Structure 1
Amino acid sequence: MSLIRERRKIKEERLSKAKEVHDHQEYVLSYFDTLFDMQLPVEKRKLDDHQIMSLCSEFLGAGTDTTSTALQWVMANLVKCPNIQEKVFEEIKGVVGIDYKEEIKEDDLQKMPYLKAVNLESLRRHPPTHFVLPHAVTEDMVLNGYLIPKNASINFMVAVMGWDGKVWEDPMEFKPEEED
């Protein structure tokens, strides 16, 4: 809450200074700032501090919870499949050596295709979210015999696509070897 109040104060000071001096210096707009300006249409009022805090919590949580969940599934699959875990370990040793004393660099990751396949397979089997952001078509179109009207909201069910037996052989099995 103190961060929200401090940011509001900074924004108000910046705006009042800009009006007094006609200051046109660049002001970096933050997520907080957009929430300060948001108005609830039905109630015709701005968000209170508790509502802003809740939205910020959701915003931050969405960015960390999905990553944490994805990593948990990667680790669970590696524990469940010791043969895959061994292949990942051997690949890492082959790239960074047996006595890797330094942290693995981003360039090293490019040399580990099996580790990438394990991550992609984990995301296919256990996507951190089952839907991607809705999309809309720009004109009426027919897809697989269905009319999709212009501006219709389209949701893609990522999980169902990753479990589709028409696309994946044994879709519920964890098989990183089959990743391209």
Structure 2
Amino acid sequence: MNVFLPIIKARQEKIKNKINISDGDEDKEDFEAYVDTLFDLKLPDSGNKLNDEELVSLCSEFLLGGTDTTATTLLWVMANLVKNQNIQEKLYDEIKEVVKHNEEIEEEHLQRMPYLKAVVLETFRRHPPGHFILPRAVIQETIMDGYKIPKNAMINFPVAELGWDPNVWENPMEFKPERFLSGEDVNFDLKG
């Protein structure tokens, strides 16, 4: 609480006093931070605003959760590249082709690196950062595949198991970025 609370309080003060959040840098636009959305949030049961402890808890959970999942995903990318030297070489060749020697990789380079995107997508399929997505509530009684699902039931989607399903993916446990490249054998839908 000692680390986050002063930052949260400073942010509240800037908003309260309508101080330009960009600290005088006229080239920067004001933006709304995640914590800003929490200041006016009211708890459904009591109607009270979040207290300092609750604000700190939510901010730290999101910061640590985002950091942990990102680091874990990067570790899986590296592990799969080390394990699959041919994939590592193909990715390295693509990067060398797009990015000049001693040049930093910029966002605009990414559009010209489909294999990098395929490696990332395959990493998410094989090793999703979370094994479930946010649960959904059923708004009316439904029958699906012969199972009765009552109204207001909470449904969880096991993302990891969907990515490992042999009915959906050929050789699902194999790390194969090519399955996300354009071609006649490619068949996937990331929209859900």
| TM-score tier after normalising by the smaller chain length | 0.7 to 0.9
Q: Which runs of 4+ in 1 moved over 6 A?
A: none
Unaligned residue ranges in structure 1 (runs of 5+): 15-27
Determine if contact 1:132/1:158 at 8 Å carries over to the other structure: yes
Higher helix share: 1
Larger Rg, first or second structure (1 or 2): 1
Distance 1:46 1:107, change over 3 A: closer
Superposed CA offset, 1:97-150 (max 9, x none): 4xx232223232122221111111111110000011112333332221112233
CA distance in 2, matches of 1:54, 1:34: 11
- Count of residue correspondences: 164
SS at match of 1:165: coil
Secondary structure of the 2:143 match is strand
Q: Is the contact between residue 8 and residue 33 of structure 1 (CA under 8 Å) also seen in structure 2? A: no
Partner of 2:170: 169
Aligned to 2:52: 49
Name the residue aligned to 1:86: 89
1:58: how far off?
0.3
The CA deviation at 1:160 is 0.6
Partner of 1:31: 35
Q: What is the CA RMSD across the aligned residues, in angstroms?
A: 2.7
For structure 2, the residue ranges without an aligned partner over 5 or more in a row are 19-31, 181-185, 187-192
Q: CA deviation at 1:155?
A: 0.9
Quick one: structure 1 residues 11 and 87, their matched pair in 2 at CA, closer, same or farther if it must change by over 3 Å? closer
Shift of the alpha carbon at 1:174? 1.1
The Cα of 1:162 is off from its aligned counterpart by 0.7
Distance between the aligned counterparts of 1:8 and 1:115, measured in 2?
40
Q: 1: distance between equivalents of 2:77 and 2:157?
A: 23
TM-score by length of 1: 0.75
